[in-house]
Amino acid sequence: MERIEHHASFSGRQEVWQHTSRSTGCTMKFGIYLPPAALAGERCPVLYWLSGLTCTEQNFITKAGAQRHAAAHDLIVVAPDTSPRGANIANDAAYDLGQGAGFYVDATETPWAAHFQMQTYVADELPALIEQHFPASAARGIFGHSMGGHGALVTALRHPGRYRSVSAFSPIVAPSQVPWGQKALAAYLGNRPDVWKAWDATALIATAHERLPLLIDQGDADEFLQQHLRPELLLAACQEVGYPLELRMQPGYDHSYYFIASFIGDHFAHHAKTLSASA
């Protein structure tokens, strides 16, 4: 691993690292914020952030205002890139497929399968790396935005017992039923809607045995709300099986990081309530 950035922030340190990933077969980058407690050698819980379409590890660490809250709650925060990248890695001209749009699945189709193993990277390889090289405890939470909100929900649901808290901003809750998700899932997993359901939070809720309370914030002025996000589908699925969901529709807010920064403190408090108690 190589540290390529470091910045003092709220008495902690924001860093960016790069490393060769065995999952994706390329160099991957991630941002990591180490709160003051971690710099002092204390093992801290880790909160993983998954970003949305077109993002890198930079968007969250520069725009969300997360460092203040991470320092206050003694949480390490890790923000990986959204996909493999490089000149020899498959890509697409569209912004919603290929590099910058990994959708946090393990691709099975050519040409994507060679590198687009983002679920394995996020759920297995990256946590192992963080817990080996940083003062991280085994207490983990996960959250994200848009495509990353989908990733956070699906990753938590697919790995019961791995995470102790989960939340999302403007998530794609039912990718098998909306254009963004259908396009990506068909490309990465093939034209097999039955397989897509294993990567669809709304479908996974029906068989979930673990009950991690979900906090979701969604702006009602989000330009993608009606076509791509459809939070009402997840709400109905949760109500049907009694899954704990707090869906907060926020008046006047859109899909941007202005929205995320406005409510990020609530999400840190949501995660800290569980992570700090179980660290």
Q: Give the active site residues.
A: 146, 222, 255
- b/e for 213-226, b at 16 or more Cβ within 10 A? ebbbbbbeebebbe
Closest CA to 163 of 81, 78, 45, 248: 45
Half-sphere exposure of 55 (CA within 13 A, CB side): 29
Q: Compute the distance between CA of residue 28 and CA of residue 229 in angstroms, rounded to an integer.
A: 28
Strand pairing of 214-219 and 76-80?
unpaired
As a whole number of angstroms, the distance between CA 120 and CA 91 comes to 20
